[in-house]
Every structure is written in C-alpha cells, then in structure tokens.
Structure 1
C-alpha cells in the first residue's frame, strides 16, 4: 500500500533521514519506534508532503505522493493525526469532527460515523457543543483521533497518540486504534511508548539518528536485546 524508498530529509546541514526504506501493507499496523530526534515525526511529515525530501520516493497505491499537494492527500485516502493534539480551539467538538468530512458527500454515513466516534469516546458526546480549546489534554487527543476516524481514510498516520496521557486514557486510545484497524484502516504509528506500540502493531521498524537499524514482526523485534535495553527496560 505505502512504499518509502531511500528517503532523505535534511533540516539545513542536519540530515534527519539518511536514506530509509520501508513499506506498509494493506490491513497492517506498522510502528516506527525510536528515541527523540530519531526521525519518526519527520518521516510522517514527509509522507504528508509537509516536508520536501532531498532524495528518495514515496508511493501510495502505486501513485507518486511527492507530486501530490498536502491538502489533496485526504482525497486519496490518507489522514495524518499529528503530534501535539492539533485541533481547532475556537470550534466546537462537533465542528472539529465535521471538518474531517469536507470531501465526503455521503451524509447518512457521515452521521453514522459521528455517532460511532461518540460511542468510542462518550465524553466527547457530552461535550459536543463545547469549544475544543476548553477540553483537557486527554479529551483533545480523543478529539484529534476521532477527527481522523471521520475521514474514513484507507491509511492513517498517527504521531505520538499517547504522549502526555494518563495510563487509563492510553488504554482507551489504543483500544480505538485496534478497533479502527479491525474495521479496515491501515495504520502507520509513531509512538514513544514502545511497550504499547509493539503490543498493538504487526510489524516494527526501529529508527536511530535517521537510520533504520532493525525491522521485523513485532514479536521478534520485542525480543531483540538492543530493543529491550533501549526501549523496554
């Protein structure tokens, strides 16, 4: 489904990605794990065409993504839920969710999806008319993920969905990620919580200073001594 080949990205003289290659197959959850500064978020931002690479290629369903404007990716079935709970604070919860459906014409299905998000996150239903900026951090993360689900994407890029959340909320977020995948959404997950990421994903790539140093099924990656020492304790 998604193929990244020999991707190189720099911030001025700093090489953030040094020719990485990986793929995400339809129906998978694939996770990128690594320390801060490893290049995980840079990878997602480049796939979303928010950053321009210096080399390499990115294809989605055999189409070159590097020639597609960032605002056009959602029409092709890609949604990016960025790090930092980026929601529209002056808009209500429901307005935030409805924004993700701007390219859809199926009004009945949109309403069904809205109710599904409210079923997944009941607290949002009670706050549907509340401004996004008044929500707690955990509620904003639920809203960001719910908005991603409203797009009915083929591929969801998730950047640090559990960052800064209490353990119970982390469990809720990962439960929803699992369910979205079970219902047909392919997911590329960037996550510092390696325990949860390796538990939920099918395959993993380990990034270190812009290089992929390890890849494989999560059951194997989780047993690697270097991964255990660096990320699992």
Structure 2
C-alpha cells in the first residue's frame, strides 16, 4: 500500500530524516516508536505532503506521491490526525466534521459517515453543537480522529493520539483505533506510549535521530532486550 524509499528530509539546515525506508501493507496497524525529536512526526508530515523530501521516493498503491500537494494526497485516500489535535476551536463539533469531508460532494454519504463517526464516538453526538475549543482533551482527540475519518481514508496517519490523556481515556482511544482498523482502514501510528502501541500493532519501526534503527513484528520488538530497556521501561 505505502512504500517509503530512502527519503531525506530537512528543516532548513537540520537533517531530520536520513535515508528512511519503510512499508505499510493494506489492513495493517504499523507503529513508529522513538524518543521526542527522533523524526516520527516529521515522517508523517512528509507522507501527508506538509513537508517535501529532498531525496528519495514515496509510493502509494504503486504510484509516486513524493511531491504531490496536500489536497491531492487527501483525495488519494490518506488522512492525517496531527499531534496536538488541531481542531477548529471556534467551530462546532458538527462543523469540524463537515470540514473533514471538504473534498467530497456526495451529501447523502457524508451524512451517513457523520452518523458512523457519532456511533464510534457517542460523546461527539452529545456535543455536536458545542464549540470544539470548549471540549476536553479526550473529546478533542476523538473529534480530530472523527474529522480525519470524514475524508474516507484508506490510510490513517495518527500522531500521538494518547498525548496528555488520562489512562482510562488512553485505553478507550486505542480500542477505537483497533475498531477503525477492523472496519478496513490501514493505520500508521506514531505514539510515545510504546507499550500500548506495540500491543495493538502488527509491525513496528524504531526511529532514532532520523534513522530507522530497528523493525520487525510488534511481538519481536516487545521481546527485544534493547527495545525493552530503551522504550518499554525495562519491562
């Protein structure tokens, strides 16, 4: 589905990603783990077109999307839930969801998908007329995911969905991520909570200072002593 081949990405003179390669197969949950500043969010921004690689290639279903504009990438079926949620604070929950479907014209299907989002996140239905800026952190995360789903993505890029949430909410968000995947959406997940991420992922990549330093099945990385010490609290 997605193949990243030897991409280099810079922020001005900072070499943020160094020859990164990875693959995501249709139907998988693949997670990226690593410390803050390792390049995980930079990779997602590059995949969604917010950043451009200096070298390398990104293929999606066998076609290059390396330098495509953001709107074209969204239309191809990739949605990005950014770190920090980035909901439109002065718009209602329902208006945020409508904006998620801005590339679509099928009004009846859009309304059906909105109802599906409300079924996934009943809290959003209760607050559909409420301004997004007044929601709790967990509710804003639900809204950010719901808004991304309104574009009907085949591939969902999730950046730190558990950040700042209480443990009970973290568990709920991860259950919903699994449900979204089981409903047919492939997921590339960036997550600081490596234990939770590996518990739901099929495969994982470890990024350190812009380099992929390890990869394998989630179970392989969970049983690696080096990964345990570095990212799993020595469990």
> Can you give the 5+ residue segments of structure 2 that lack an aligned partner in the other structure?
none
**After superposition, what is the alpha-carbon deviation per residue over 1:169-201, rounded to whole angstroms, capped at 9, x for unaligned?**
111111111011101101110000001100111
- State the Cα distance separating 1:104 from its structure 2 match: 2.2
SS in 2 for 1:222: helix
Q: Which residue of 1 aligns with 2:116?
A: 116
Q: Which residue of 2 aligns with 1:213?
A: 213
- State the Cα distance separating 1:12 from its structure 2 match: 2.5
CA distance in 1, matches of 2:48, 2:123: 30
- State the Cα distance separating 1:90 from its structure 2 match: 1.1
Q: Which residue of 2 aligns with 1:58?
A: 58
SS in 1 for 2:3: strand
SS in 2 for 1:113: helix
Indicate yes or no: 2:42 matched with 1:14.
Answer: no
TM-score, length of structure 1 as denominator length: 0.97
| Deviation larger for 163-172 or 116-125 | 116-125
SS in 1 for 2:223: coil
**After superposition, what is the alpha-carbon deviation per residue over 1:119-174, rounded to whole angstroms, capped at 9, x for unaligned?**
22111111100111111111111100111122110111100011000111111111
Q: Which residue of 2 aligns with 1:132?
A: 132
Q: Which residue of 2 aligns with 1:90?
A: 90
**After superposition, what is the alpha-carbon deviation per residue over 1:5-40, rounded to whole angstroms, capped at 9, x for unaligned?**
001112223211110100001111100000001100
Provide the alpha-carbon RMSD of the alignment: 1.0
SS in 2 for 1:140: helix
Q: Which residue of 1 aligns with 2:174?
A: 174
Q: Which residue of 1 aligns with 2:155?
A: 155
CA distance in 2, matches of 1:114, 1:12: 40
- State the Cα distance separating 1:106 from its structure 2 match: 2.9
SS in 2 for 1:75: helix
SS in 2 for 1:206: strand
TM-score, length of structure 2 as denominator length: 0.96
CA distance in 2, matches of 1:115, 1:215: 38
Aligned residue runs from structure 1 range 22-37, under 5 A: 22-37=22-37
CA distance in 2, matches of 1:136, 1:28: 30
